[in-house]
Amino acid sequence: MAMSYNIRFWEIRERPDRRKSFQSRWTVNGQEKSESFIVFALADSRRAKLMTAAREGEPFDEHTGLPVSELRSIKQRTTWYDLVHEYIEQRWERTPGNTRRTLAGAFATVTPAPVRPGAAYSDPRVLRRALYSWAFNKKAWECEPPEEWLHALDWMKRNSLPVSALAEADVLRRARRCDVPQAGRQGGCG
């Protein structure tokens, strides 16, 4: 992650042809960044918040354009499921087919482990199939998943722990052992 203290801010730009017509703009090490808002006051407030972070000496991430404090906050809210789903989306086009299958299988195996304590999906086979065949298969996103998979994926989204929870020893141990909580039994990969 490349960080920079070279931050420049521009005035709020109005673009009347758009629904979100007020744009807060800045550069991080020469790379343009922007966020759009419906009203001027929101764009101005966002600009002021970013300027305060820069004035307080926070480095900004060159890729996202965000100050380090906001990146930490995002990391605390991003779930393991969301992170893996986003990873698949970003890597799909440049990943060979066999590697795609390997990644989908590995992620479908480990993703049910970092969930809320005590959470267990009623049918682990359906959950794994939904993860492998739809959630971690970008080509399948063109179609709506079967109803049974929708329920499993909804459960996964609700129960997946934030990425920050992987710092906790018991969560990490469960994931390393594939100790997926399942209804009616403790642990196992399967």
| Cβ pair 50, 34 in contact under 8 A | no
Shared-domain flag, residues 31 and 122? no
Structural domain boundaries, residue 58:
3-76
Q: Determine, yes or no, domain membership for 129.
A: yes
Residue 121 and residue 183 in contact, taking contact as beta carbons nearer than 8 Å:
yes
Mean pLDDT over residues 109-118, rounded?
88
Please tell me whether residues 82 and 173 are part of one structural domain. yes
- Give one word for 184, left, alpha or beta, with left for phi > 0 and alpha for psi -120 to 50: left
**Same domain for 169 and 114:** yes
The arithmetic mean of pLDDT across residues 129-134, rounded, is 96
**Residue 180: pLDDT over 50:** no
| Pairwise CA distance, residues 24 & 20, whole Å | 11
Q: pLDDT by residue (tens digit) across 22-33?
A: 999 999 999 999
pLDDT at residue 104, as a whole number: 95
Helix axes 80-91, 147-159, angle to 10 degrees: 120
* Greatest Cα pair distance in the chain: 59
Q: Which of 76, 98, 129 is the last residue of a domain?
A: 76
Compute the distance between CA of residue 37 and CA of residue 120 in angstroms, rounded to an integer: 40
Q: Is the pLDDT of residue 63 over 60?
A: yes
Helix (H) or strand (E) holding 8: strand 7-9
The pLDDT value given to residue 186: 38
Q: Does residue 88 share a domain with residue 12?
A: no
Question: 185 in a domain, yes or no?
Answer: no
Single out the residue in 76, 96, 116 at which a domain terminates.
76
| CB-CB contact of 91 with 34 (8 Å) | no
pLDDT at residue 119, as a whole number: 87
Q: Range with the lowest mean pLDDT among 16-20, 74-78, 108-112?
A: 74-78
Flag whether 190 is in a domain: no
Task: Categorize the per-residue pLDDT at 188 as very low, low, confident or very high, splitting at 50, 70 and 90.
Answer: very low
Query: How confident is the model over 51-58, as a mean pLDDT?
Result: 96
Q: Is residue 22 part of a domain?
A: yes
High-pLDDT (> 70) share of the chain, %: 86
DSSP class of 146? P
What are 118-127's pLDDT values in tens digits?
888 999 999 9
Please indicate, yes or no, whether residues 99 and 169 belong to a single structural domain of this protein.
Answer: yes
| Total of domains in the chain | 2
* Mean per-residue pLDDT, 79-83: 89
The predicted structure's pLDDT at residue 190? 40
Which token pair is 145? Answer: 């998943």
Asked if 134 and 111 sit in the same domain, the reply is yes
Do 163 and 86 belong to one domain? yes
Domain boundary pick from 21, 46, 76? 76
Report yes or no on 107 lying in a domain.
Answer: yes
Q: Per-residue pLDDT for 181 more than 50?
A: no
